Chain A
């Protein structure tokens, strides 16, 4: 492999992972834009999405609907889309329920109180994921080692789309990440720009009291924000599980930190910022894996986070009068 090919390969990895990180980052940034809360539990909602996906795949496999021989078959595309929708809806509803039960009564409490409550929710969700790992199903390893990482089956064909003789590998999985995430992002942008509810969101982000006075049901707007953020996290969890072929009950912590870093890097509260930040973090991770050392990658990412917060707290695309959500 030449240097250029190595570089190109890392760019492909970086962008694919970056798109997934961006989806999670959107959830952080939207919630922060509306209620000014770092939703610490977001990463763990993402984790549970992965567990739902594996449970569905396991159930289909046990019912012999999913045949391992059909990998790379066109039918698996529909399965993938179905998984994204199912996990998206699950995580969206879960996220909104958490908001209703835990965050809503604390809306007027000091910010740190809300953040600590969010950390509490995060721990509860981690524990639920741990128990979920003990499900007596074949895909969960029979449920005997609940805390161990679970293998996520390869749903898509693994052959190289650039031809078998090419050194740079581009698999169907890489492409599927883009095919799923880009429409979601376009849809989200159109939703926020064009629809009535989207306008309500932008208004609430600018000034919640003012929005309420103008007849916007801000509670509904906040619920919608949590549902959409959760949906994106659920979709991201399916793509992440598929791409990394493994899930564990603690995966949301790292993924969440990456995504939060991305959101801050792009300018928290800004939708295009989260997308750009996600891609940048993905590429930084891939480059650090290749050119520094894999074991230092987390240090690199967290250092980036700290440096940005210290020198440019408003992020790359964030402005003083930033456009939130």
Chain B
């Protein structure tokens, strides 16, 4: 037993403290510069951070490529919708809703993973991609249950000790989501150094060697898959509560899966701090920077909706694509490199 293992684990690493602290301080910046609207888009950043942390378990820690993580977010969002919307008979409320969404998500991950996890890496990637498309089309076509392209609405906002948050309580809402994120980061950090976490790393590094150490790769992978799916489903539920609607099924398309993958890869594959940073950079670009550029262009009369080149939103694919290609070429371990990745 090395000293490292007997040592008590600090609840958060230094990097995590810095990133979470910066997030917590963001609404203060809003006070200083009132024109800056931060707490509302930052809630979206948190939702994507949770999804990407789930994907990080699968891609970063276990080394399986999942291209259909958005499907699990969709499953979570629709579970939350069906369980909480007033037009359905359940109406379990926000907290039970997100909890059950996570559980249903884990079950869905287990259901997809059980038969397919034996497949080779690139084949598994394609299966998860196909699953993403099946879930989207399934949700769209099962109108009786899911209301098709309308989406399920209205959905409840979080309630906290009897107070229900409304759209005016953006800051409180942000801090509530931040608190959920902090709890998840704490859980993830403990998971990373737990027996299960080390089993995931072992399977990622060398499946045969892991098997020799009496680790069953199939079971280990399945746990990673289910855990990742549960987190994605939770993020889907949180996102649906934010919009007060599940949105239409095509909101959970391949682009969203790729956005989550970009977050993990750009931030630093396998690193919790990296994923948080990646979420701030990529989603911030998506929901804060690009809309702001578009708005300022419009205000100055440069941006016209008729010209495809002048809308910043049209560069999204290009930016994602370049980010993936350049990262793979020059820094395949991401902005924040984990010690393990450097060693291998």
Contact = CB atoms under 8 A, between A and B. Distances in A.
A109 B328 CA distance: 9
Give the most central of A114, A147, A299, A313: most B CB within 10 Å.
Answer: A299
A124 B314 CA distance: 11
Contacts of B315: 127
Nearest to A37: B122
A123 B65 contact: no
Interface size class of A (residues with CB under 8 A): 35 or more
A170 interface: no
Given A111-B122, A124-B318, A124-B325, A296 B141 contact: yes
Interface stretch (B229-237, B270-278, B301-309): B301-309
Contact of B328 (A116, A130, A299, A302): A116
Contacts of B63: 112
B322 A124 contact: yes
A299 B324 contact: no
A309 interface: yes
A28 to B, nearest CB: 11
Interface string A254-283: 000100100010000000000000000000
B254 interface: yes
A295 B140 contact: yes
Interface residues of B, number: 44
B317 A124 contact: yes
A293 B143 CA distance: 14
Nearest to A311: B115
A144 interface: yes
Contact of B119 (A116, A133, A298, A313): A313
Interface in A275-313: 293, 295-296, 298-299, 302-303, 305-306, 309-310, 313
A55 to B, nearest CB: 15
B131 interface: yes
Contacts of B254: 253
B309 A134 contact: yes
A130 B317 contact: yes
Contacts of B129: 257
Interface string B261-286: 10001000000000000000000000
A176 B170 CA distance: 60
Q: Is the interface of B mostly helix, strand, loop or mixed?
A: helix
A116 B137 contact: no
A87 B116 CA distance: 38
Given A113-B328, A134-B308, A120 B126 contact: no
A83 interface: no
B122 A115 contact: yes
A123 B321 CA distance: 5
A117 B133 contact: no
Nearest to A303: B134
A200 to B, nearest CB: 25
Contacts of B324: 116-117, 119-120, 123
B320 A123 contact: yes
B314 A146 contact: yes
A131 interface: yes
Interface string B164-189: 00000000000000000000000000
For the complex of A and B, list the 3 residue pairs with the smallest distance between their C-beta atoms, beginning with the closest. Answer: A120-B324, A123-B321, A134-B308
Interface of A: 38, 102, 105-106, 109, 111-117, 119-128, 130-131, 133-134, 143-144, 146-147, 253, 257, 260, 264, 293, 295-296, 298-299, 302-303, 305-306, 309-310, 313
17 contacts: A109-B328, A111-B121, A115-B65, A116-B265, A117-B329, A120-B320, A123-B318, A127-B316, A127-B318, A127-B321, A133-B308, A134-B308, A147-B308, A257-B129, A293-B141, A303-B134, A306-B127
